[in-house]
Structure 1
């Protein structure tokens, strides 16, 4: 192979690599925003008022697809649970994760996606708080200062939100706090080299445990869900398609998240995540036509700026 051919081959490989990365990012954006909007449509607009059952459907799909992806397709090497203690740690994470997803789905019944995303952007605040409480790890003073606009922005957005609902707000804050708690607990529980699992293997083990937790919870708290679901299906068979597609999309979010991190970096994923929230807000407003106020948008913008400053501060301190 001549030097020119080698240059052309390298250029083609680089171009294909960039194209694949862009495709991954677009897929991650589409699945992330898609599952959020479809959850909102099902739980609020469509009238399927069973967030716990919907979460159980998501976890069931994640259980099946995770096994296929890891054990059959070998997307990532399969890691085994080495001890009973490690299993208990994973079960603890699964419980916290269930609380996060269920609370988030409940909040979508009462809040527009735009406000939901504004509250969700405060995750760094709760992460810093739980990290300090549980590990006594202090960040630099400038990092804590950057959290002020994060929290202030949500207060401003709440005051200017036309569709504010107190219970939905509490559920969304709970979901955001639980999401942050899960990341901190994961860092504590699975910190040793022998216990670390990549995100796909962790999902493989967490999902079935989540189904076991959510099944009795659904039976107790949404006891008439099967009968009413059959009644809704008789009226509109598309409900089955919505649930299957929505559940598959929930797994695809985790898969693309893992692949984007693998082919870029965790920092890139964080930056893309900040932009994803803004895109989700715009798309949801266009689709659902929920009213927004200038004060609310200013509050959300302040929160996003705070999150960006927080990310930059963390990057510099590390």
Structure 2
């Protein structure tokens, strides 16, 4: 028998110029989407840090509300007008309640993550955020009795050990910021497990873009009273800052739009590659964010701290591989 290559080639027509061009376009499209995803992810993270810490705009709840307001408007524009994805509707009051519950934990995780950026450098924030698989595995077992293989659980050991090492060696360690970041990471993992449980039926499943479109307005409704109660002078301070320097307005507009772009490119990367590829790229993104943040903010780092973070990333990669092997 002929080798498969020759069998497949034999009798087939030569590919047309149009077909070759199509094949050439696809990789470039995917490449630009991945670059856009990296840029928006790292960009919004660094700009959050700059606004909340360096610029002195110490209002994480209001900042999160701005993000959700932009996501609400831009999501509707992208789905209803630009037809990025088909619009899905909420089928029942029960489904709406489930989405609202998810939104509560989503808001909780984002706000706490922004709070932590006031006290921690981006590099350390990313190291803690890399422990998401650990919390996901714990919550999956507690909430749905979902067991992983022993190999998968073993791979979580370096994930946790790396953060412990990085914490002990972090020159800019702040206990409150650390607790906020760990809580944000746990809340993010809890939300993902809860989402898999609540929206498990085919009738209730929503793609990530539609889910964001419904969650964002609910988030604004939750965050607005929280802002007025806990950050009472934010509007007055924003007006004062805008009068002194109009850049704050542009920063907030750009930062909020970038927050939506993160979700859009996240969806597009998954669509053009796969969920597993997204996970692998996400691991690398964390490392890139660490390097970029150190170059921009010049925060001190130690060799032991970097080794600890590297150990965490290695554990996450091993975890991803063990999960892939179990499928």
- TM category, shorter: over 0.9
Map of 1:12-51 to 2, 5 A cutoff?
12-51=21-60
Say yes or no: does 1:135 pair with 2:144: yes
* Equivalent position of 2:130 in the other structure: 121
**TM-score, scaled to structure 2:** 0.96
Distance in 2 between residues matched to 1:78 and 1:135, nearest whole Å: 30
Q: CA deviation at 1:11?
A: 1.7
Counterpart of 1:98 (choices 107, 110, 113) is 107
**TM-score, scaled to structure 1:** 0.98
Distance in 2 between residues matched to 1:59 and 1:190, nearest whole Å: 21
Distance in 2 between residues matched to 1:111 and 1:235, nearest whole Å: 27
Counterpart secondary structure, 1:299: helix
Cα deviation, 1:1-31, whole Å, max 9, x if unaligned, reads: x944x34322210110100000000000000
Question: Paired residues, what number?
Answer: 316
Distance in 2 between residues matched to 1:147 and 1:135, nearest whole Å: 19
* Equivalent position of 2:232 in the other structure: 223
Moved more, 293-302 or 7-16: 7-16
Distance in 1 between residues matched to 2:325 and 2:20, nearest whole Å: 33
Distance in 1 between residues matched to 2:80 and 2:242, nearest whole Å: 34
* Equivalent position of 1:245 in the other structure: 254
* Equivalent position of 1:291 in the other structure: 300
* Equivalent position of 2:3 in the other structure: none
Distance in 1 between residues matched to 2:57 and 2:171, nearest whole Å: 23
* Equivalent position of 1:233 in the other structure: 242
Cα deviation, 1:89-135, whole Å, max 9, x if unaligned, reads: 00000000000000000000000000000000000000000000000
Structure 1 stretches of 5 or more lacking a match? none
* Equivalent position of 1:55 in the other structure: 64
* Equivalent position of 2:4 in the other structure: none
Say yes or no: does 1:316 pair with 2:292: no
Say yes or no: does 1:182 pair with 2:204: no
Distance in 2 between residues matched to 1:309 and 1:11, nearest whole Å: 37
Distance in 1 between residues matched to 2:19 and 2:52, nearest whole Å: 49
Cα deviation, 1:41-90, whole Å, max 9, x if unaligned, reads: 00000000000000000000000000000111110000000000000000
Counterpart secondary structure, 2:118: helix
* Equivalent position of 2:5 in the other structure: none
Cα deviation, 1:262-304, whole Å, max 9, x if unaligned, reads: 0100000000000000000000000000000001000000000
